[in-house]
């Protein structure tokens, strides 16, 4: 077996079979070889390709006029995989943290490795460190705050005063600028304090506090949309529900 391949001929066969089940194409050895060459040249992995096929036939295929629908090709599949991986990078709000004393080559290798991991759908290495807890600590915090939404909220005018005194999201470390709990966010470029908290900090806090009314994501889970991580991490309704909870 070629050790540099990112996808095997057996996996390519399964992909083509999945496409054939939807568009009734016939599959031959030439099809498998062509897709194998294209997907390996583009560095596509099976999990991403499988997700892209499902996305194509569930989302893009129905939008085409019935008489003009075209079967998925390897170039279109490659483009869809790139879109999926790019969306994961946006959703992760990835921020590279340099290691003291690393060389230029070490920096490039570590950065590329982290970017590949984010594209594969793995959480950035710094995610739990920003919250200041290991995964078990995050789970316990989620359990601790899970009953907050059951309380009656204060009147809006009182809730507004409380929110100014303890802004929603200030309870956790900011994933963008690394401001500590209770401290204001700062502009990463200038280091100056901002008049508001970063959106990713507020979203991360809401994820720990509330389940999402829109997508039904559980406490501690990122919101999702069309089966993908939501680009803004948490829906507005979830953030609003969390804000009401701390005012209770």
Residues 85 and 133 in one domain: no
Is 27 contained in some domain?
yes
The pLDDT value given to residue 164:
53
Write b or e for each residue in 71-99: b if 16 or more Cβ atoms lie within 10 A of its Cβ, otherwise e.
ebebeebbebbeebbebbeebbbbeeeee
Quote the number of domains for the chain.
Answer: 2
| Report field, pTM of the whole predicted structure over 0.85 | no
Question: Is 79 found in the same domain as 147?
Answer: no
> Looking at the structure, do residues 85 and 138 belong to the same domain, yes or no?
no
The pLDDT score that the predictor gives to residue 12 is 95
The pLDDT score that the predictor gives to residue 96 is 64
> How many angstroms separate the CA atoms of 226 and 58, rounded?
10
Q: What is the pLDDT of residue 1?
A: 40
Hey, is 136 helix, strand or coil? helix
Looking at 42, 76, 92, the residue that finishes a domain is 92
Q: Determine the pLDDT at residue 214.
A: 83
**Residue 156: what pLDDT?**
54
Give the pLDDT of residue 46: 94
Mean pLDDT by 10 residues, the chain (248 residues): 76 94 92 94 91 89 83 91 80 66 72 73 51 48 46 50 61 85 84 86 86 84 84 86 66
The answer as to whether 107 is a domain residue is: no
Domain extent, residue 82, equals 9-92
């Amino acid at each position: 077996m070629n050790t540099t391949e990112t996808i095997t001929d057996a996996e390519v066969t399964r992909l083509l079979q999945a496409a054939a089940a939807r568009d009734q194409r016939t599959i031959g050895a030439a099809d498998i070889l062509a897709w194998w060459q294209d997907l390996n040249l583009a560095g596509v992995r099976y999990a991403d390709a499988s997700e892209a096929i499902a996305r194509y036939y569930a989302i893009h295929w129905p939008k085409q006029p019935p008489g003009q629908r075209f079967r998925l090709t390897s170039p279109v599949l490659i483009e869809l995989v790139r879109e999926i991986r790019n969306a994961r990078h946006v959703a992760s709000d990835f921020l590279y943290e340099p290691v003291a004393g690393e060389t230029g080559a070490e920096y490039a290798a570590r950065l590329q490795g982290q970017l590949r991991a984010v594209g594969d759908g793995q959480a950035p290495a710094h995610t739990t460190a920003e919250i200041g807890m290991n995964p078990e600590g995050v789970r316990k915090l989620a359990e601790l705050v899970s009953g907050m939404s059951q309380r009656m909220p204060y009147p809006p005018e009182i809730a507004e005063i409380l929110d100014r005194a303890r802004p929603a999201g200030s309870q956790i470390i900011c994933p963008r600028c690394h401001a500590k709990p209770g401290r204001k966010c700062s502009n990463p470029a200038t280091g100056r304090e901002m008049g508001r908290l970063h959106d990713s900090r507020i979203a991360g806090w809401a994820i720990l506090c509330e389940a999402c009314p829109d997508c039904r994501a559980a406490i501690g889970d990122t919101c999702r949309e069309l089966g993908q991580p939501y680009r803004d991490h948490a829906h507005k309704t979830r953030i609003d529900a969390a804000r009401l909870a701390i005012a209770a």
